[in-house]
Amino acid sequence: MRLSPDAHIHLIAACGTAMGSLAGMLRERGYRVTGSDASVYPPMSTMLKDLGIDLYEGFAAKHLQPAPDLVIVGNAVSRGNPEVEAALAAKIPYLSLPEVLRDLFIRGKRSVVVTGTHGKTTTTALAAHLFGAGGLDPSFLVAGLPQGTDRSYHLGQGEYFIVEGDEYDSAFFAKWAKFFYYLPEILIVNNIEFDHADIYRDLDEITKAFRQLVNTVPTNGLILANGADPHVAPLLPDAPAPVQTFGLEETAFWRACDIQYGERGTRFNLLRDGEALGAFELPLIGEYNIRNALAALATAAHTGLAPDRLQPALARFAGVKRRQEEVGRVGDIILIDDFAHHPTAVAQTLAGLARAHPHRRLLAVFEPASATNARALFEDRYVDAFAPATAIVVAKVPRPERARSDEPFSPVRLVDRLAATGKTARYIPDNEAIADHLANAARPGDLIAFLSNGGFGGLQRKLLARLENAT
């Protein structure tokens, strides 16, 4: 792809985390950048406007007049979108996000690609943090916002580009995973489970995509893998590149042992092929975050960063927004916001919170907002996933039309099944009613965890306001 230094690039659906980050990167490269989205709202809209990017609310053919030099089409956009149709009719060049990211930013760098059904965002942010603390000044793109910053990307002067490798599709004209574009030299495979039921038929199909990705790593590269994951392990024996495993198991090449769990973090000793590398403090909770940290530490160590540089860096990691993020504290009531939505992520998040806060009631508030959540695929698994919670509130499915008519997810049925196990569970379809219920039910010492990959209609802020007004 060749663009003049003053080229005009327009992004359709510009306010998503990844698309907004790409818009910022392009602007920093000196291009004239515009964008549009169905809703333009902070914090992404603020960041983009501060960078000098013109944003249009809503989609209209006039936003492509005069014609830009390139249109980037977000994967949330489909045929029928007025700007898509205008670009096609006028034969304006168009590409997907991962194509542009590869050709303008990753190519020529040493690419670190972080994949897995769960843990991608935290692991990517951790790796970027460790590389930066080690003086490597990497470029990176995270599909989330690291705490303490207003940017989910960075264009560094170093030789590495660290990118979250999403298994979701690329665009309406490119129905294959984004991670195929990212030219991995170092590939992290954290776990594989069935998800994205709107894209993949079953677990075999998503596993096939990961197998194909593993086969693209060059022989002078490195694959870091969770060898204990039953769907990752079969991909490793035939991998063309060297493989190192990470985990808590004795067989893991990179192993965490002597683990101590606390309310605000975790401490463990790190072993590399049996060699003790010292004690590490991780300001995150949950066993799954130990695996995320191991993957990031292994990646950083592979570049030559010594353990004594990595130890203080890991201890300073501030986390990622919407990943165990404490969004408020009223008296002794704590509100946590988390992106967990898949039953495994829900189970791991709640188990981590329960272990870190054993003396608190744990109230789980769940919004089934993903495309997979709209279907009944995992309904039975959610019964076990919510086991660590004291009480559960299930909200409505935001877009039920995404389910097949013969298999829609039923919040009422899930609540009934939870109640049958002895749990206190309620289905409350209205967010204002949920906020009222929680404000009345909450008592000192409670921990309230919001679990959704959507916005939850600002429910977290609504409850916080009610609790503050009641004090």
Residue 361: Cβ-neighbour burial (10 angstroms; 0-12, 13-18, 19+): middle
Residues 311, 361, single domain; the answer is no
Write out pLDDT tens, residues 135-177.
999 999 998 778 777 788 999 999 999 999 988 889 999 988 8
Distance CA 471, CA 130 (A): 41
368: containing domain: 325-470
Q: Is the pLDDT reported for residue 189 higher than 60?
A: yes
Query: What is the arithmetic mean of pLDDT over 277-305?
Result: 93
Q: 102 in a domain, yes or no?
A: no
Residues 126, 161, single domain; the answer is yes
Query: What would you report as the CA-atom Rg of the chain, rounded to the nearest whole angstrom?
Result: 22
Structure tokens at 19: 């698309």
* Domains contained in the chain, number: 3
Residues 411/395, Cβ–Cβ less than 8 Å: yes
Strand segments (E) across 142-285:
153-154, 160-164, 169-171, 174-177, 186-189, 222-225, 243-247, 254-261, 266-272, 275-282
Residues 287, 416, single domain; the answer is no
Q: 100 in a domain, yes or no?
A: no
Q: 3 in a domain, yes or no?
A: no
Q: Is the pLDDT reported for residue 403 higher than 60?
A: no
Residues 306, 339, single domain; the answer is no
The pLDDT value recorded for residue 455 is: 76
User: For the domain that residue 38 is a member of, what is the CATH number?
Assistant: 3.40.50.720
Kindly indicate the confidence band of residue 265, based on its pLDDT and cuts at 50, 70 and 90: confident
Q: Which of 160, 249, 176 is nearest to 210 (CA)?
A: 176
Residues 182, 77, single domain; the answer is no
- Return the axis-axis angle of helices 287-302 and 343-356, rounded to nearest 10°: 100
Q: 1 in a domain, yes or no?
A: no
User: For the domain that residue 114 is a member of, what is the CATH number?
Assistant: 3.40.1190.10
Residue 143: Cβ-neighbour burial (10 angstroms; 0-12, 13-18, 19+): buried
Q: Is residue 66 reached through a cis peptide bond, with omega within 30 degrees of 0 on the bond before it?
A: yes
Residues 137, 73, single domain; the answer is no
Distance CA 89, CA 111 (A): 36
Kindly indicate the confidence band of residue 346, based on its pLDDT and cuts at 50, 70 and 90: confident
Write out pLDDT tens, residues 405-458.
568 778 888 899 999 999 899 999 998 999 999 999 999 999 999 998 877 878
Q: Which of 31-40, 122-131, 219-228, 365-374 has the lowest mean pLDDT?
A: 365-374
Q: 320 in a domain, yes or no?
A: no
Q: 303 in a domain, yes or no?
A: yes
Q: 387 in a domain, yes or no?
A: yes
Length of the chain: 471
H or E, element range at 11? strand 8-12
Residues 118, 185, single domain; the answer is yes
Residues 297, 270, single domain; the answer is yes
Residues 338, 296, single domain; the answer is no
Residues 63, 129, single domain; the answer is no
Phi/psi of residue 242, each to 5°?
Answer: -55, 145
Residues 239, 142, single domain; the answer is yes
Residues 39/60, Cβ–Cβ less than 8 Å: no
Q: 244 in a domain, yes or no?
A: yes
Residues 73, 116, single domain; the answer is no
